[in-house]
Structure 1
Amino acid sequence: MQVFEDWNQKVKRTFNATNPEVVLTVSEAGSLLGLTKDQMKLYVDKNKLTKVPIMRSVHRYLLLKSEIDNIVQAR
């Protein structure tokens, strides 16, 4: 039986395997900051965080783990 894998997690895993920069999904970053996915999207835009674009998707992106870690430490 094939196990369902979230598309965002699959993209993240592929990116992390091919790039030295570690990334998080919007949902993962939001959970670290205590925000919902929608709140996190607003937070990203307001604070001009780096968006790592995902090919073939205009509205989806990943976030740099290093930026999120810095925000968490500053709190």
Structure 2
Amino acid sequence: MQVFEDWNQKVKTTFNATSNEVVLTVMEAGEYLGLTKDQMKLYVDKNKLTKVPIMRSVHRYLLLKSEIDEIIRKS
């Protein structure tokens, strides 16, 4: 039986396998901060966090785990 894997998770897995920088999906980052996905998107724009673009999609992006860790450390 084939297991469903979210498209954002597939991109994240590929990116993490080929980069020195660890990334999170918007939903994962929101969970770390106790925010919903929509709240996290607003938080990203308001605080000008780094968006790691996903090819072929203007509205999808990944976030740097190091930035999320820093926010958690400061709070």
Task: Give the TM-score normalised by structure 1.
Answer: 0.98
Matched, 1:42 2:42: yes
Q: Which runs of 5+ in 2 are unaligned?
A: none
Identical counterparts, % of pairs: 85
What CA distance in whole angstroms lies between the structure 1 residues aligned with 2:30 and 2:60?
Answer: 15
* 1:16-65 superposed Cα distances (whole Å, 9 cap, x missing partner): 00111000000000000000000000000000000000001110000000
1:61 lines up with 2:61 in the alignment:
yes
Report the equivalent of 2:27: 27
What is the CA-CA distance between 1:69 and the residue it aligns to?
A: 0.1
Q: Distance in 2 between matches of 1:36 and 1:12?
A: 19
* Other structure's SS at 2:21 match: coil
Stretches (4+) displaced over 6 A = none
- Cα RMSD (Å) of the superposition? 0.4
Q: Give the aligned partner of residue 11 of structure 2.
A: 11
